[in-house]
Structure 1
Amino acid sequence: MAKRTGEKYDAIIDAAVRVIAEHGYHNAQVSKIAREAKVADGTIYLYFKNKDDVLISVFSEKMGSFISDVEEALQSVESAVDQLYTLIRIHFERLEKDRRLATVTQIELRQSNPEVRKGIGEILKRYLDIIDQVVENGIRQGVFRPDLDVRATRKMIFGTLDETVTSWIMNDYKYSLSGQVEQIHRLFIDGMRK
């Protein structure tokens, strides 16, 4: 298998996002992805085992980049209240900027098989760990209630962000996703404050 870097690899990943968003995962044949990426069908198999591997790689590349951006942004933010705001803002801005990626991550990944879900679960854990750290920071800083269950709070935060994006997609992007940041942040903070 070829090294997962370079122009062709990046072209395949980007093409997969476009094709899956437009046709749905089950109708996104490898040949369509190859055509969109302007590579031969066989080139896909130099980088990926199968279509499931393409989907896992799309999530790994795009979500990995997103998680790295969140980690980097949070390094310069001390207050847990501001960290949570930053996390919500980046989450919504990134997906609002790339509607196709939002469709793939929110809709198509949910319809995939157990192998794909397992692959994306490993990547998603890194993001969930960041949310845990923000909540733990807030407790340590004395701005969040000391009795917060970190795991349950993380589920509430991630679940709300996830559902907000899914609802935005299902409503044909009729409103600003970024415009939801203030209200959702306030909702979380009011529920978690000491």
Structure 2
Amino acid sequence: MSRLGKSRGPKYGQIIDAAVEVIAENGFHQAQVSKIAKKAKVADGTIYLYFKNKEDILISVFREKMGLFVSCIEEAMGDKETVEDKLLALIETYFKNLSENYHWAIVTQLELRQTDKRLRGKIGEILKDLLILLDTIIDEGKLQGVFKQEMDKRIARQMIFGTIDETVTTWVMKDRKYDLVSLAAPIHHLLLSGLLKDSKTR
């Protein structure tokens, strides 16, 4: 949590956005606080009014951005009636959000994975809200008799998230050489083949 709690103000947002760019462009270990301050157009000391250190900035960045990310996915899923459509909305929104925010994609797919175990543990806690959305889709699909009843929810969640996550990572590492969003439909079709009660995707 930021040192000022909920009393953040515009400078907090400037620092968060600047941190995403600086970490993406320089890597977390080379992203000095002074660089973040310069990008955010604030004094170095201002950073410490909001954050304890660079690690606190990274955790706060992930918390803020992931919160918005999950909200976008929830909104996209909100008007969908079937679990199949909800899953597609999740995948499409996931890909669209990261394709439109390339610096953020670099941070999530590359830089966060290079942090130490303690930091990754904190990041994992923040990621739970997204995983809960996946659990909700899986539970609803099983309850409606659409998804296989014998399916292990943890394995299904890992399959879905792992596929989506690896797709974005490859896209980032290939330097955006193809349209990420266009992959949503075929990946959705592929995932449904393992989830649906019958062998045919709808």
Match among 53, 71, 75 for residue 72 of structure 1: 75
Aligned to 1:192: 195
The answer to which structure, 1 or 2, has the higher relative contact order (CA under 8 A, 6+ apart) is 1
Instruction: State yes or no: 1:136 paired with 2:139.
Output: yes
Instruction: State yes or no: 1:101 paired with 2:97.
Output: no
Match among 38, 42, 45 for residue 45 of structure 2: 42
Q: Structure 1 vs Structure 2: percent identity of aligned residues? A: 54
List per-residue Cα deviations over 1:34-81 (Å, max 9, x = no partner).
000000111111000110000001100011110112123222222110
List per-residue Cα deviations over 1:85-107 (Å, max 9, x = no partner).
00000000000000000000110
Unmatched 5+ residue regions in structure 2? 198-202
Instruction: Give the AA of the match of 1:185.
Output: H
List per-residue Cα deviations over 1:159-193 (Å, max 9, x = no partner).
00110000001111000000100110000111111
Secondary structure class of the residue paired with 1:45: helix
In 2, the alpha carbon distance for the partners of 1:100 and 1:64 equals 17
Aligned to 1:26: 29
Aligned residues: 194
Instruction: State yes or no: 1:117 paired with 2:120.
Output: yes
In 1, the alpha carbon distance for the partners of 2:121 and 2:188 equals 30
| Superposition CA RMSD, Å | 1.0
Instruction: Give the AA of the match of 1:44.
Output: I
User: How much does 1:142 deviate?
Assistant: 1.4
Aligned to 2:179: 176
* Aligned 8 A contact 1:92 1:181 in 2: yes
List per-residue Cα deviations over 1:137-166 (Å, max 9, x = no partner).
111111111111111000010000110000
* Aligned 8 A contact 1:53 1:116 in 2: no
Instruction: Give the AA of the match of 1:66.
Output: F
In 2, the alpha carbon distance for the partners of 1:70 and 1:119 equals 22
Instruction: State yes or no: 1:92 paired with 2:85.
Output: no
In 2, the alpha carbon distance for the partners of 1:2 and 1:145 equals 47
User: How much does 1:3 deviate?
Assistant: 4.1
TM-score for both structures, normalised by structure 2? 0.93
Aligned to 1:2: 4
* Aligned 8 A contact 1:131 1:154 in 2: yes
List per-residue Cα deviations over 1:106-136 (Å, max 9, x = no partner).
1000011223212211110111111011011
Secondary structure class of the residue paired with 2:28: coil
* Aligned 8 A contact 1:30 1:41 in 2: yes
Instruction: Give the AA of the match of 1:72.
Output: E
Unmatched 5+ residue regions in structure 1? none
